[in-house]
Amino acid sequence: MALRKIKLLEPQNPNHSTGIVNGEASGIVNWNDIPYPQFYDIYKNLRSNFWIPDEISMAKDIKSWGELGDDEQEAFKRIIGLLSILDSVQTNLIQRASGYVTDPSVHAILAEISSQEAVHNQSYSYVLSSIVPLEEQNRIFDMARNDPEVMKRNQLILDIYDEFDENPTPKTLAKALVGSIILEGINFYSGFAFFYNLARQQKMVGTSTMISYIQKDEMQHGHFVAMLLRALLAERPDIDADGSFTEYVYETIDKAVQLEIRWSHEVLTGLEGIDLEEMDGYIKYIANKRLRQLGLDDLYEGYTDNVMPWIRTYSDEAMNDTKTDFFEQKSREYAKVSEDNGFDDL
């Protein structure tokens, strides 16, 4: 079944959406009358995260940049280039997906997420403009799209997003949401760890502060997308009627983890303070957390604790690890969600 693209306003329909996709809704956002009250909490949390790059002083980073080794500078440039691609792609995906989502409250949240992704891209330009000349800034952004390892690393997500863009159905949307969780919740994390590692050596502390703001945003984005996917699957149990979608989630996250490990070895080998074996474990730990957000079991046995606890000094993940068998829920059960019994109580 194809997804129906929504109209800007359908006043004959109720304000209270009858479904995440292919439902009926006027297009008017009334936060006091939405199907999933928790979404309002997400919206308020996203709004409270508001920040702008110019608030962060880069004065010390300008001096610190000259003190980095050549290998550190190269890794810095490649990771900034990678992050700029991911946030650019995510901005576009969120906007395109929004056109097929019936629920106006979800529209409002996706608009906020898309805006924040654009700010993240602004942040990378802001950092580079503080430490290198314009010609080098442009080269770094060009380097990202011409780096075969970067593109190989991103192809999994691009293929998932392209499948949805070319054939928008409930199932391809569900796949795109899985891709979004991977992008927001796994693909950024070895890069974030690199900047935090510099900061614990008192290097590029301004950049690390900005990255911590970005990570806080991405945590909220991933949390909401997981909630949205759970809602979609509960409303459309046909997507996973035979259990194949659950298997797809496991297989796709495993592919993403292997790509992330390969990338981290490509860009972080030999850097002071980086233990690649620990990084591999950290990536698997993060992937297990994402699966728990989706109510699924860990994929990687033994990776239940953060093997790089020093990262908590810079950014502590405060996500709920409770396992929920939401894939088995029916939409009639899902309707029991209220402000008092959140998603993890189902």
Domain that holds residue 61: 38-316
When pLDDT is averaged across residues 130-156 and rounded to a whole number, the result is: 88
- Cα separation of 141 and 78, whole Å? 9
| pLDDT tens digits along 235-276 | 999 999 999 999 999 999 999 999 999 999 999 999 999 999
Tell me, yes or no, whether 30 lies in a domain. no
- Cα separation of 119 and 100, whole Å? 24
Tell me, yes or no, whether 133 lies in a domain. yes
What 8-state DSSP symbol labels residue 162?
A: H
Q: pLDDT class for 180, splitting at 50, 70, 90?
A: very high
C-beta separation of 184 from 93 below 8 A: no
Domain of residue 165, CATH code: 1.10.620.20
124 is known as an active-site residue = yes
Lowest mean pLDDT among 63-77, 137-151, 158-172, 308-322: 308-322
Tell me, yes or no, whether 169 lies in a domain. yes
Which two tokens mark 213? 């703001």
Tell me, yes or no, whether 2 lies in a domain. no
Which two tokens mark 236? 């459309």
pLDDT at 194: 95
pLDDT at 316: 53
pLDDT at 227: 96
Is 16 annotated in a binding site? The answer is no
Cβ atoms within 10 Å, residue 319: 16
When pLDDT is averaged across residues 321-343 and rounded to a whole number, the result is: 37
Tell me, yes or no, whether 288 lies in a domain. yes
Q: pLDDT class for 82, splitting at 50, 70, 90?
A: confident
Tell me, yes or no, whether 341 lies in a domain. no
Tell me, yes or no, whether 150 lies in a domain. yes
Domains held by the chain: number? 1
| pLDDT tens digits along 269-286 | 999 999 999 999 999 999
Is 120 annotated in a binding site? The answer is yes
Catalytic residue among 100, 124, 189, 285: 124
- Give me the residues paired with residue 21 across strands: 101
Tell me, yes or no, whether 16 lies in a domain. no
Is 218 annotated in a binding site? The answer is yes
The SS3 assignment for 101 reads strand
- What are the percentages of helix, strand and coil residues in the chain, rounded to 5? 65, 0, 30
- Cα separation of 43 and 36, whole Å? 12
pLDDT at 317: 52
Amino acid letter, residue 77:
K
